[in-house]
């Protein structure tokens, strides 16, 4: 998304790509920093294989700089400072298949921002599909449509973070609202999409902003698009803040329901 202008060997803003010759190459290809067997609802996905389990993996690096990041220990690391183990696409796909007897439906690419290392997502997801299993992407949607087109044929479901609906707020996080809107609109044409908005007090918690966001989702993506409205807890560089009031989360969810059929609250 940032299209970093890098000198030879220099690492980009995401901490997971560097310039090598005339190319931007992935530093985190196959470098797994976290792995877990999660309920699909934890992604969160409520309308995609409910009640199932999915093998979840993450690496290091992110192209945003959210001060409330709950996985900052890996997502905000540059290079391999997070501590990782190498797992090839073949090994990960085979591991997913081995867990199928335990209820696993496939692989979820999550925890950090998976698309800063999209090549690994593409290569692994292609093999997972050969095993006739599912691929789930949990992303901030801050990627070009060119990258999205490379992976979308192999992705079955996404949860995309829609951080808010104010361009200024996105700029504070190092992102761009229009980029994310375009990403969501294209992704929804190719796979199952659910959206998540984390409500941060004093940042994106106005009723007017939620009204505008829900209206856009309904008109551009569809009234049946699932939206998760979730509660902020103090984390990372915002550890001195108060958690979002539960009543505020429910109030904003009710506003979203004026336009959308499937709205859930989270972390309440």
pLDDT tens for residues 227-255?
999 999 999 899 989 999 999 999 999 99
Write the CB contacts of 234 (distance below 8 Å, at least 6 apart in sequence): 68, 240, 241, 242, 243
* DSSP sequence for 144-204: -HHHHHHHGGG--EEEEE---S-HHHHHHTT--HHHHHHHHHHHHHHSEEEEEEEE-TTTS
Q: What pLDDT shows up at residue 18?
A: 76
- Given the candidates 3.20.20.70, 3.90.1150.10, 3.40.30.10, 1.10.3720.10, the CATH classification of the domain at 29-266 is 3.20.20.70
How far is 138 from 45, CA to CA, in rounded Å?
10
How far is 198 from 93, CA to CA, in rounded Å?
31
pLDDT tens for residues 53-112?
999 999 999 999 999 998 888 888 766 555 789 999 999 999 999 999 999 999 999 999
Quote the pTM value: 0.94
| Spatial CA neighbour of 195 closest among 156, 154, 158, 232 | 158
Q: Which helix (H) or strand (E) holds 58?
A: strand 53-58
In which residue are the tokens 């309440």 written? Answer: 268
Phi and psi, residue 82, nearest 5°: -75, -20
Q: What pLDDT shows up at residue 173?
A: 96
């Amino acid at each position: 998304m940032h299209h970093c202008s890098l000198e030879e060997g220099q690492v980009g803003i995401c901490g997971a790509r560097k310039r090598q010759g005339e190319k931007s190459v992935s530093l985190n290809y196959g470098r797994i920093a976290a792995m877990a067997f999660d309920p699909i609802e934890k992604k969160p996905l409520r309308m995609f294989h409910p009640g199932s389990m999915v093998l979840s993996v993450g690496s290091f690096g992110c192209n945003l700089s959210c001060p409330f990041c709950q996985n900052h220990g890996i997502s905000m690391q540059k290079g391999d400072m997070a501590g990782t183990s190498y797992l090839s696409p073949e090994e990960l796909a085979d591991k997913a298949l081995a867990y199928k007897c335990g209820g696993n439906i496939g692989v979820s690419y999550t925890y950090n921002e998976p698309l800063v290392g999209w090549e690994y997502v593409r290569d692994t997801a292609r093999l997972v599909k050969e095993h006739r299993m599912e691929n789930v992407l949990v992303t901030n949607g801050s990627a070009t449509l060119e990258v999205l087109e490379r992976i979308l044929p192999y992705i079955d479901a996404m949860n995309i973070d829609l951080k808010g609906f104010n361009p200024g707020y996105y700029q504070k996080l190092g992102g761009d609202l229009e980029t994310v809107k375009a990403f969501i609109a294209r992704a929804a044409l190719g796979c199952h999409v659910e959206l998540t908005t984390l409500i941060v007090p004093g940042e994106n918690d106005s009723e007017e902003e939620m009204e505008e966001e829900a209206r856009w989702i309904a008109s551009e993506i569809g009234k049946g698009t699932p939206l998760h409205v979730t509660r902020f807890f103090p984390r990372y560089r915002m550890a001195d803040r108060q958690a979002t009031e539960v009543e505020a989360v429910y109030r904003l969810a009710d506003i979203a329901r004026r336009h959308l059929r499937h709205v859930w609250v989270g972390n309440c």
